[in-house]
Amino acid sequence: MSVLIEFSIFPLDQGVSLSAPVSQVIAMLRDSGVAYQLTAMGTLVETDTLEDALALIARAHTLLQAQGCERIYASIRIDSRNGPRGRLQGKPAAVAARIGPVMT
């Protein structure tokens, strides 16, 4: 199974610039070994199961709480599909195969 999630999570009580707390979430994802892609508005992650995906989101939430964040906002989109992994790179590649190079 391949589970793609697109999520953004950030504190609402830490001022205007959020790169410091958000960078800790990205470091956690990087260190977890999951396939991920950081974008300007969120992060894409691919896991084998929905439970694994939701566990990462829970870890991100706990990490922000541990940094003293008292109010946390999260937006999550989920696309799960039976079949092999690799859709994080495969979906953009399928579009590029039709129209040529695309920014990812």
Name the strand (E) or helix (H) holding 75.
strand 72-81
Percent of the chain topping pLDDT 90: 96
Token pair of 84 as six digits: 């092999």
Mean pLDDT, range 37-45, rounded to an integer = 96
pLDDT digits over 46-84, tens only?
999 999 999 999 999 999 999 999 999 999 999 999 988
Q: Would you state the pLDDT for residue 50?
A: 97
Measured in degrees and rounded to the nearest 5, phi and psi for residue 67 equal -85, 5
